[in-house]
Structure 1
Amino acid sequence: MKKNIVRFFCIGLCAMPTMAATLELVTLQYPPYQYEENGEIKGFVVDIVKEAFRRLQQPIKITLMPWTRSIKMIEDGAADAIFTAYKTSERELFADYSKEVLMPQAVSLFVLKDSTIKFDGDLYKLANYNFGVVSKVSYGDVFDNAVKSKIIKTPDTTHTGEKNIEKLLAGPDYASCSIISV
């Protein structure tokens, strides 16, 4: 009888669904991709991420924070995953990337309507202008390499895209970089 109880208990344990630990995901506030509204994390990329993990039956917790902190948490192992992060050689040292791109994106340059800044694809022509970027965000190899090689000035960094828009609205010779879906 005791053997049957032990056997039943073991079979019961094996038949029980395993409860996966909740994965900690981090990202930045970047509407409409991901943003917080009334205490809830929303956005169309958030919807995709949530659905993917729901199908895997994997619980997740998504936290929005400054991008620099998000990157550091992934690098230190304090968070399990990050999303909407461009793949860079520096990040590949501490992060694994999926083979599929979650959301195809293109880098865009924003200027005021009456700005004298004109862009024809040659970053050398923009060397005298100020750029605003979000700290630790990669804007792709072309822009990132132009900054590293000093083709353009070191950009002014902020923690949010909204701050860059405020700077853009305040100054005539200022451009804001952003990433948009293609």
Structure 2
Amino acid sequence: MIKLYKGIESKPSLLVLHQIEVAQESSGTAQPILKKVSETLKEWDFNLALPIVCVTDEEDKYHLLTGLPIYEAAVAANLERIWVFLIAAKQAEAEKAIEHALLQSKLNDRVVEPQDVTEFLDFINNAKANLTSIPGVKDGYARLIKNNRPYNSLEDMQKKLGAKRSLNWLRAYKHKQ
């Protein structure tokens, strides 16, 4: 067990799906995404992302707090069990821990490697590249990118087009590949 905020304990745990209570019927996640995750779960027979659950008044029952799409995909994959992050506290106390977990997860973006930047700049500088194939780059941004070519480095691109926008496009480009 790991001690969390004010003595709340937590740990990764492998739970049987029927031990998990779900308040919501559906996450609203797009079916193609759920299908892709479900297929991966079938192939691997385990999940990498850990939904968060907390204890309930019933013995061996847990309340799902985060990760409903992962739970839905596990059900669709006919998994018997999934890994969860168990917070040994009632829901109200567990919600405080979730606030911190969600804040931290926003900081857990994939690392951008130097070769990712090189490939991205090669693509951006290519006159034949379909810039609108990058999620978030519409026709107007594509013209802006073309009009400011060439880009010698990511820093050069950030100066010409804006730091945040350039990084978002780099991440989107990396993710689509």
The alignment's TM-score, normalised by the length of structure 1, stands at 0.28
The structure with more helix, counted as a fraction of residues:
2
The alignment's TM-score, normalised by the length of structure 2, stands at 0.28
The structure with more strand, counted as a fraction of residues:
1
